Amino acid sequence: MSALSPPPDQDIVVVGATGDLAHRKLLPALYNLSVEHLLPTKGNIVGTAPFTWNDQRFREHARDGVTKFSRTGIDTAAFDAFAQRLHFVPIADGDLAPLRAHLGCDRRIAYLAVPPSAFKALIDALGAAGLAQGTSIIIEKPFGHDLSSARALNQTLHAVIPEDRVYRIDHYLGKETVQNLLVFRFGNSVSERIWNRDAIARVEITVAESLGVDGRGVLYEEIGAIRDIVQNHMFQVLAVTAMEPPISFEAEAIRNEKVKVLESIHPIDPHDMVRGQYAAGMVEDERVVGYLEEPGVAANSTTETFAALRMHLDSWRWSGIPFLLRTGKRLPTRDTRIVITFRDVPVHLFRDVGVHQMDSNRMVVHIQPNEGIALKFVAKQPGPDVTTQQVEMTFSYGTSFKTSPPEAYERLLHDALDGDHTLFIREDEVESGWAAVERVLMSPPPVHLYPAGSWGPPEADRIASPGHWHNATV
Ligand SMILES: NC(=O)c1ccc[n+]([C@@H]2O[C@H](COP(=O)([O-])OP(=O)(O)OC[C@H]3O[C@@H](n4cnc5c(N)ncnc54)[C@H](OP(=O)(O)O)[C@@H]3O)[C@@H](O)[C@H]2O)c1
C-alpha cells in the first residue's frame, strides 16, 4: 500500500460504532491506515450508535479492538495520536442531526455498520438531518433480502445519495488474492489463452468455514448460506474468475465486465442445488452442537448452513462449462479456493506402457488461508519404468513477498475515502446477483443434515458428478 497517498480531507462517520464489525475490523483498519499516513490529513472519526457512550468510552473500545485485532498490534504513541480524532455522538430517536456539531469538513463518508433492518431508516435520517450534501455512504452486506428488496433499497439510497457516492462493500473484493486474479489473468499472456471452454473442463469455488453461527443464531435464521455467502462473496469471486478483459483498469470498465458475468448466469434450477444444515459433531478436535441447538434458532428451522450448486454461464467463453459453487459452516476447516480443472489430454499415450489413468491438470487459487496459486500436473517418477505421479508448482504470498497482505477493510476503506469504486459493487451487479438466485429462493430444495466437521451432506456429491469435490486436505 506504500504507493498510495492520503485521501482528500473529510470526516468519517461510523454508524454502529459499538458493534462487532467496528470493534474487530473497522477501528483496527482505520488505526493501521493512520499509522501508514493513509487517512485524510484533516477530519474527525465520529462513532455513533444508540448507546450513550462518550468520547472516552469510544476511545477505550477502539484501543481494545486495535489491541486484539490489528494485524500490526498496537503502538501506544501511534494509537494516542489516532485516538485524538475519535469522537462519539449517541443517536436519540433515530435523529442524526447532532452529528453536525462534530463534523469539521465539507465532505464526509458514512459507514453503515448496522443490521440491514436499520439501513433504510438511517439513510432517510441522513437526508432529514440535511447531511446528504457532501456525504458518501459505505453500506454493508447483505444488500436486500431478495431482488425486490434490493431494488427498493437502491431506490431509498438514490433518493438521498447518488450512485457515484455509494460504496456497497463486499470484503472479498478487498482480498489481495481476489485482486491478484485480475493480474494473473490479464497481466500474463499465457493465462488468457487457456482461460476458456476450449481448455477448461470445470470450475469449482469453495468457501468453507469451520465456525458455526457464533452466537448470531437470530440474525442467521433470517439469512442462511445462499444470502450470506453465495449471492455476494461467491458471485463476486465468480465474476472476477469469469469476466472478459476490461477495456481499461478503470472502475467502470471492470464493473461493466463483472456485471455481464452475473447477467449471463443461467437461471439456477432448484434441482441443481443441495442445501444442508449442520448437526452436532467434531470440528478441529472440538465437540460442537448442531445448528438447531444454537441460541436463537427455531427448533424446526430449515435455514441452510450449507449450499452446493451447479450453474452455467450463457456466454461464448463459458458455454457448456459447469461452475460448481459450495459453501458451508462447520466444515472441517476454513478454506476458500477456486479449483480450475483443465481438459484431459486427447490421447492417453502412456496407456501402452501401463499408465491407464492420469489426473487432469488443475490450478488451485488459494484465496484464504495460505494465499497463493498451485498448478498440479503429472510428472514421471524417477526410475526405469514409466510411472506417473501428480506434482505441484506453487506460488505463495508468504514466500514470494515475505509480508502479510493488508486487511481487506484497510484497502476498501482507503479506496472509498479516495473515491475509487473499482472494488465496490454497483447497483446493477447487486440486482443481477439476486435475479440469479431468485428461483431457488422462491422454491428452495429440501435441507439435508450433515455432521459438523464433515464436508456437507452426501447429497452434495451429486452436484459435482461426474467427478468429485476437491477438498482442502485437513
Ligand atoms: N461482524 C462482522 O464480522 C461482519 C462481517 C461482514 C458484514 N457485517 C455486517 O455489518 C453490519 C454490522 O454487523 P455487526 O456484526 O457489527 O452487528 P452488531 O454487533 O449487532 O452491531 C450493530 C451496531 O449497529 C448499531 N445499531 C443497531 N440498530 C441501530 C439503529 N437503528 N440505528 C443506529 N445504530 C444501530 C448497534 O448499536 P446498539 O448496540 O446500541 O444497538 C451496534 O453498534 C451488518 O450489516 C452485518 O451483516 C458484519
Ligand 1 pocket: which of 114, 138, 168, 170 to mutate (most atoms within 8 A of CB): 114
Is residue 181 very low, low, confident or very high in pLDDT (cuts 50, 70, 90)?
very high
Ligand 1 pocket: which of 13, 15, 21 to mutate (most atoms within 8 A of CB): 21
Q: pLDDT of 3-55, one tens digit each?
A: 789 999 999 999 999 999 999 999 999 999 999 999 999 999 999 999 889 99
CB 69 less than 6 A from any atom of ligand 1: no
Is residue 2 very low, low, confident or very high in pLDDT (cuts 50, 70, 90)?
very low
Residue identified by cell 477438498 is: 471
- pLDDT of 116 over the 50 cut: yes
180: left (phi over 0), alpha (psi -120 to 50) or beta: alpha
Backbone φ, ψ for residue 103 (5° rounding): -100, 125
CB 342 less than 6 A from any atom of ligand 1: no
Q: What is the pTM of this model?
A: 0.93
Query: Is the separation of the CB atoms in 359 and 345 below 8 Å?
Result: no
Task: List every span in the chain annotated with CATH 3.30.360.10.
Answer: 173-464
Taking CA atoms, 381 is separated from 199, 361, 363, 374, 386, in Å, by 26, 17, 21, 20, 7
CB 27 less than 6 A from any atom of ligand 1: no
Q: Please check whether the domain covering 173-464 is classified as CATH 3.30.360.10.
A: yes
Q: pLDDT of 429-463, one tens digit each?
A: 999 999 999 999 999 999 999 999 999 999 999 99
CA of 116 from ligand 1 middle (Å) equals: 8
Q: pLDDT of 125-140, one tens digit each?
A: 999 999 999 999 999 9
Q: What is the mean pLDDT of residues 223-248?
A: 96
Atom of ligand 1 nearest to the CA of 112: 11
Catalytic residue among 87, 233, 366, 414: 233
Is residue 252 very low, low, confident or very high in pLDDT (cuts 50, 70, 90)?
very high
> Alpha-carbon distance 73 to 67, whole Å?
6
Q: Whose CA is nearest to atom 3 of ligand 1?
A: 21
How many angstroms from the chain centroid is the CA of residue 348? 40
Note the pLDDT of residue 421. 95
CB 122 less than 6 A from any atom of ligand 1: yes
CB 141 less than 6 A from any atom of ligand 1: yes
CA of 111 from ligand 1 middle (Å) equals: 11
Q: Is 271 a catalytic residue?
A: no
DSSP code of 95? Answer: B
Is residue 1 very low, low, confident or very high in pLDDT (cuts 50, 70, 90)?
very low
Q: Whose CA is nearest to atom 46 of ligand 1?
A: 115
CATH superfamily of 11-140: NAD(P)-binding Rossmann-like Domain (3.40.50.720)
Q: pLDDT of 385-408, one tens digit each?
A: 888 888 999 999 888 988 777 789
- pLDDT of 289 over the 80 cut: yes
CB 367 less than 6 A from any atom of ligand 1: no
- pLDDT of 224 over the 50 cut: yes
CA of 474 from ligand 1 middle (Å) equals: 33
Task: List every span in the chain annotated with CATH 3.40.50.720.
Answer: 11-140
- pLDDT of 359 over the 90 cut: no
Which residues touch 155 (CB under 8 Å, ≥6 apart)? none
- pLDDT of 242 over the 60 cut: yes
**Whose CA is closest to 456, among 289, 272, 307?**
307
Q: Whose CA is nearest to atom 2 of ligand 1?
A: 21
Note the pLDDT of residue 474. 61
